[in-house]
């Protein structure tokens, strides 16, 4: 999104629907001037930011509803026309443009120049944001109307047509640039803005330049990056977008840059080491407007446009219900999608298991949104596989957990100045609403039915490929089961997904993450999906950057793998489990060999702790939580004390002697009546019970011990849900799935006898791309169709999470 910037107030209704929406929606930052009466109920929201009234977020307008049947109704009123006519400036035709040729990693020549960092003392400041809130201030609430007064022009004024100074800007949605210093004719030093209300987290960048010259070689150097390791050292290139190329050739974002170098900044102030990224570029046109970004942007407005199209679709709206999960700190809507086909009976509805998917808890990791978009595109389609998944499961999807951070261009934090993915245990509902409500939603869901899988989509700045972080299960009855889904996914997407990069160690510093908290709540298959900012080192895509098409295809592969994971035919699951045991045995041998030891593992190798074998997840520099801000510590302590007092008050009051005697007599009467009813039955079966064989007793002991293990793994709410009939062992559901499988078998090509059928739909528009057709089962599995062989008879359907 590239909204135009204006210094003077605009009329209430603008000719361009997109600009009209941005004018109303993006007043949070003081980027647009608004009149007090121009917005609905503006007088009711006169809030300010503590210590910093210059940066203001515009939240929702009017009354704040906790649950809106259609949360996009207010947004609809901001668009004068239908979504199909909304034009994004030059980007609508090219935002998902795919390069015709692979974009290979940059190959260092060894002659890359390391520029001297001179700063504004020896250079000229050509762009600078004022009054950026840091860790010394905190966000209180938003104010409709934004910053009061005229918005000044931050870039320098050109002296004439011969002036070749670049004009910088980042005051648009997801933009992030603090300062630009011109140190030579075509050389600029750039300072990124830290996450609001923090003094760190500089990784994401997104800014605009104008007044370009075609034949000149420009050098840009970002001087305040914080990570010692980066994918730029492995050949990653920045992204560039040209508006002239987009308008004339429909070309979108592409990888550009030469002489790329990532190095330490030796002019830091000694507080924390800083690092620099430098690259050179030649612009394709004179007088062009170009944008640079760390990764393909996906904004809050992009999400709202997508959700509005779903809400307006008469077909998709039948099985995709859009609700407001909560409001963010700034009042922006956090959307919750519930996706499932309508059930024919209450029993069929109760039998469905749940799958929970979330994204963008870290706002600068836009790759998570592109994977989520691919998943939603497929699950909302009319593909037979998508229909089957909607028949079996209820999908709970939170596509953007941190809309405030996305809007203001943060990399990792919310407006609370903290990493939300370290606070899933929080009791501070008002300070971390998105996380609190997500956890509470999943907690209620677990009370209703089993949650088969939880996955949070992220981006990774140090490793290539796509991989998962999971949680090792200590119960030997389900040993290695949490690794089956990632292994299957690696076989379905062998050129993108790396199983060897996956990790299942639960570290103490990750206890507050969504993955670990959901695992401890009872979800065995709880994952964080990490997708690289760079590209692939695997298969046909080796040494090439990922495109948006690659990431959206991964969303399809998640759906495809979910079908394989829950296939009633257990062959794939069991073969993956056997392969996992073999891989783990090899890893254990390797570890012992590294320590110079030799050990026979035939009988005891499965007793070795998996956490001793795996290294840490080698995540970001932000793995350690900063703890709560100072102004929230007292609130947290007060809430903890109130919680303890509430538990004490819940104790039953003491009864009088008369009440105790009455209850005692009532219990005795019930016991006597029950004994009288059971007497004939006990007399008839007494001899049978006395002659009970010994192996029955042994089996009872074994089953009781297994039940104890099961109770330790699954919480009581899930067990209660299954007792009420939430398993999939129902005849109606069995008939439904068997019918679906039979239809899919009839659609497949004759003679195609692999377990993973690449083409499941007769609709050409729903066929996956060539690189999305899995063929790994051809070598691994017997000649069976997915779901059932022709001779298999199955009395009831199970989702085989555990063999």
Q: Burial-class residue 67 by CB neighbours within 10 Å (0-12, 13-18, 19+).
A: exposed
* DSSP type of residue 234: G
Residue 527 to residue 506: CA distance in whole angstroms = 11
Phi then psi dihedrals of residue 616, to 5 deg: -70, 165
Alpha-carbon torsion (748, 751, 757, 758), positive or negative = negative
CB atoms within 10 A of CB 384: 17
Which residue in 91, 256, 450, 530 is the catalytic one? 530
| Closest C-alpha to 248, from 288, 291, 213, 282 | 288
Distance CA 249, CA 97 (A): 11
Q: Which of 389, 352, 318, 385 is nearest to 732 (CA)?
A: 352
Tokens at 624, concatenated: 């350690």
Q: Is-contact 109 258, C-beta < 8 A?
A: no
Token digits for 540? 């046909």
- Rounded to 10°, the helix 384-392/731-747 angle is 170
253 sits in the region (left: phi over 0; alpha: psi -120 to 50; else beta) called beta
Q: Is the CB of residue 192 less than 8 Å from the CB of residue 166?
A: no
Cβ atoms of 754 and 781 closer than 8 Å:
yes
From residue 316, alpha-carbon distances to 163, 337, 354 in Å are 53, 12, 19
The tokens describing 428, both together, are 């501070």
**CA 269: distance to chain centroid?**
35
Report the distance separating Cα 319 and Cα 340, nearest Å.
5
CA 803/CA 799 separation, integer angstroms: 10
**CA dihedral (211, 169, 308, 449) positive or negative:** positive
CB neighbours of residue 331 within 10 Å:
21
Is residue 256 annotated as part of the catalytic site, yes or no?
no
Which residue numbers are catalytic? 530
């Amino acid at each position: 999104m590239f909204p135009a910037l204006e210094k003077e107030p605009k009329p209430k209704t603008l000719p361009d629907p997109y600009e009209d929406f941005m004018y109303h929606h993006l007043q949070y930052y003081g980027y647009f001037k608004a009149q007090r009466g121009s917005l609905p109920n503006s007088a009711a929201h006169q809030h300010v930011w503590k210590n910093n009234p210059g940066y203001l977020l515009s939240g929702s307008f009017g009354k704040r509803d906790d649950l809106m049947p259609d949360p996009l109704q207010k947004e609809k009123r901001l668009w004068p026309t239908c979504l199909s006519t909304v034009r994004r400036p030059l980007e609508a035709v090219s935002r998902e443009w795919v390069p015709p040729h692979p974009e290979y990693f940059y190959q260092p020549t060894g002659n890359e120049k390391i520029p001297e960092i001179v700063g504004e003392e020896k250079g000229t400041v050509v762009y600078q944001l004022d009054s950026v809130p840091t860790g010394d201030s905190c966000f209180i609430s938003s104010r409709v109307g934004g910053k009061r007064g005229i918005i000044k022009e931050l870039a320098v004024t050109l002296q004439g047509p011969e002036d070749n100074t670049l004009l910088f800007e980042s005051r648009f949605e997801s933009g992030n640039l603090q300062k630009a210093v011109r140190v030579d004719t075509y050389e600029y030093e750039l300072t990124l803005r830290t996450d609001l209300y923090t003094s760190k987290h500089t990784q994401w960048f997104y800014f605009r330049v104008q007044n370009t010259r075609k034949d000149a070689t420009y050098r840009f150097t970002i001087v305040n990056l914080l990570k010692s390791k980066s994918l730029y050292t492995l050949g990653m290139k920045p992204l560039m977008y040209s508006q002239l190329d987009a308008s004339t050739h429909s070309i979108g974002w592409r990888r550009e840059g030469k002489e790329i170098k990532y190095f330490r900044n030796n002019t830091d102030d000694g507080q924390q080491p800083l690092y620099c990224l430098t690259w050179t570029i030649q612009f394709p046109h004179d007088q062009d407007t170009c944008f640079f970004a760390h990764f393909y942007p996906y904004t809050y407005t992009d999400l709202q446009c997508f959700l509005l199209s779903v809400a307006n679709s008469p077909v998709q709206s039948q099985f995709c219900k859009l609700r407001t999960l909560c409001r963010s700190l700034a009042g922006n809507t956090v959307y919750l999608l519930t996706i499932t086909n309508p059930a024919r009976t209450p029993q069929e509805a109760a039998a469905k298991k749940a799958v929970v998917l979330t994204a963008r808890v870290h706002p600068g990791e836009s790759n998570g949104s592109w994977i989520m978009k691919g998943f939603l595109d497929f699950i909302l389609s009319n593909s037979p596989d998508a229909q089957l998944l909607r028949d079996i499961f209820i999908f709970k999807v939170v596509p953007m957990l941190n809309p405030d951070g996305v809007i203001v261009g943060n990399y990792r934090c919310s407006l609370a100045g903290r990493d939300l993915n370290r606070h899933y245990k929080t009791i501070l509902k008002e300070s971390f609403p998105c996380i609190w409500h997500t956890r509470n939603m999943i907690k209620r869901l677990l009370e209703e039915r089993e949650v088969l899988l939880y996955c949070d989509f992220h981006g990774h700045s140090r490793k290539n490929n796509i991989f998962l972080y999971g949680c090792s299960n200590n119960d030997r009855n389900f040993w290695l089961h949490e690794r089956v889904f990632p292994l299957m996914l690696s076989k379905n997407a062998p050129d993108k997904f790396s199983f060897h990069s996956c990790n299942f160690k639960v570290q103490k510093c990750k206890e507050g993450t969504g993955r670990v908290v959901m695992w401890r709540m009872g979800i065995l298959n709880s994952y964080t999906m990490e997708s690289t900012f760079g590209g692939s080192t695997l298969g046909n895509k080796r040494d090439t950057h990922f495109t948006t098409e690659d990431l959206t295809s991964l969303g399809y592969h998640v759906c495809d793998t979910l079908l394989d994971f829950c296939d009633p035919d257990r062959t794939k699951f069991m073969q993956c489990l056997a392969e996992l045991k073999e891989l783990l045995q090899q890893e254990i041998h390797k570890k012992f060999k590294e320590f110079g030891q030799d050990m026979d593992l035939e009988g005891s190798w499965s007793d070795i702790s998996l956490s001793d074998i795996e290294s840490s997840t080698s995540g970001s520099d932000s793995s350690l939580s900063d703890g709560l801000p100072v102004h929230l510590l007292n609130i947290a302590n007060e809430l903890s004390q109130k919680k303890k007092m509430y538990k004490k008050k819940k104790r039953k009051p003491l009864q009088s002697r008369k009440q105790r005697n009455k209850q005692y007599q009532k219990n005795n009467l019930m016991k006597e009546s029950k004994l009288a009813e059971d007497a004939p039955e006990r007399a008839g079966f007494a001899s049978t019970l006395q002659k009970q064989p010994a192996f029955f007793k042994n089996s009872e002991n074994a089953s009781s011990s297994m039940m104890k293990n099961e109770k330790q793994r699954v919480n009581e709410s899930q067990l209660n849900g299954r007792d009420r009939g939430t398993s999939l062992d129902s005849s109606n559901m069995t008939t439904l799935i068997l019918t679906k499988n039979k239809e899919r078998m009839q659609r497949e090509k004759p003679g195609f006898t692999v377990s993973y059928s690449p083409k499941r739909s007769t609709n050409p528009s729903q066929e996956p791309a060539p690189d999305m057709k899995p063929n790994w089962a051809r070598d691994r599995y017997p000649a069976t169709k997915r779901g059932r062989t022709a001779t298999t008879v199955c009395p009831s359907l199970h989702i085989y999470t555990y063999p």
